[in-house]
């Protein structure tokens, strides 16, 4: 089966601009998660979708971040306006259930805000 | 790709030796634990998991040990190979459908 796909793989934008990251989970996976890793630090949870519903968005840093999953398939994460501290790698993961194999992560989108 | 090893503790191991990576987890209510491997430019990759009702689980060349008394998790890699070079994260979870919480990560460096 195809893995979790993220697009773009890299993005460089100026402070104040808008960026939209996309995640295509594994087909049939109802659970979709967004995480991010700021340089040199641990991977932090952002939010969790179950199908199209936000199950947990406690990790979203502020209202400049907006995640959607219309139709319960792919998800987008928009940052508007971007700030320097938003730089990092944004990972998406999906799972059918949290079974023995855990999540499957995408390769991430490396976001650089200059 | 991403410099995954910045500011992380580093474990240097001779090729062919065994590696032991340790992790202290935070929540005594966590009941599911996972080890992930992250190579530069890639997402975290599942290695092995363990439930809280177990204290040891073995996979291919890897073993995870869980000590709930002191909230400690370890990953043992047998006969370490160059391809094992990566950052290793432990993660914990309280509900199989809930978020997982990652630890800080350890960079494994293989010496020739």
Cα-trace Rg, chain B: 14
**The pLDDT value given to residue B28:** 86
> Given an 8 Å threshold on Cβ–Cβ distance, is A41 in contact with B104?
yes
Q: Report the residue of chain B nearest A95, measured CA to CA.
A: B97
- Chain A partners within 8 Å of B93 (Cβ): 98
pLDDT in tens, B40-84: 889 999 999 999 999 999 999 999 999 999 999 999 999 999 999
Cα B107–Cα A41–Cα B31 angle in degrees, nearest 5: 80
Question: Which residues of chain B are within 8 Å of residue A101 when distances are taken between CB atoms?
Answer: 46, 49
DSSP-based three-state secondary structure for A72 = helix
Residues in chain B: 112
Among A45, A100, A108, select the one facing B43 at the smallest CB separation. Answer: A108
Chain A / chain B CB contacts < 8 angstroms? 75
Interface of A with B in 73-112 (CB under 8 A): 89, 91, 93, 97-108, 110
pLDDT at A98: 55
Residue B95 touches chain A, beta carbons under 8 Å: yes
Contact A110 B89 (CB under 8 A): no
DSSP SS3 for A85: helix
> Does A100 have pLDDT greater than 70?
no
pLDDT (0 to 100) of residue B96 = 57
What confidence tens digit (pLDDT) does each residue in B86-110 have? 999 999 987 655 788 899 899 999 9
Tell the residue number behind the tokens 């989970």, with chain if given: A25
pLDDT tens by residue, A27-85:
989 999 999 998 778 899 999 999 999 999 999 999 999 999 988 899 999 999 999 99
Please give the pLDDT value at position A1: 63
Question: Where is pLDDT greater, at A37 or B6?
Answer: A37
* Average pLDDT score over residue span A19-33: 94
Q: Which of A25, A18, A22 is nearest to A109 (CA)?
A: A22
Task: Using the structure block, give the residue that is written with the tokens 């340790």.
Answer: B22
């Amino acid at each position: 089966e195809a893995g979790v796909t993220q697009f773009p793989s890299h993005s460089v934008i100026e402070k104040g601009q808008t960026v939209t990251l996309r995640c295509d989970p594994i087909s049939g996976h109802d659970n979709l998660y967004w995480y991010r890793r700021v340089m040199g630090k641990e991977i932090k949870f952002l939010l969790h979708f179950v199908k199209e519903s936000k199950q947990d968005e406690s990790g979203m840093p502020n209202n400049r971040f907006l995640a959607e999953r219309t139709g319960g398939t792919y998800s987008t994460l928009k940052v508007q306006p971007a700030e320097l501290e938003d730089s990092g790698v944004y990972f998406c993961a999906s799972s059918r259930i949290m079974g023995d194999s855990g999540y499957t992560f995408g390769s991430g989108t490396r976001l650089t805000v200059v | 790709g991403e410099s995954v090893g910045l500011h992380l503790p580093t474990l240097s191991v001779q090729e062919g030796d065994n590696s032991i990576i340790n992790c202290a987890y935070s929540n005594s209510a966590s009941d599911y634990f996972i080890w992930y491997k992250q190579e530069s430019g890639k997402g975290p990759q599942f290695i092995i998991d363990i439930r809280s009702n177990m204290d040891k689980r073995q996979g291919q060349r890897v073993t995870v040990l869980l000590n709930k008394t002191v909230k400690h998790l370890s990953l043992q890699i047998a006969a370490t190979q160059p391809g094992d070079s990566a950052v290793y994260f432990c993660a914990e979870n309280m509900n199989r459908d809930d978020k997982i919480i990652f630890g800080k990560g350890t960079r494994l460096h293989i010496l020739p």
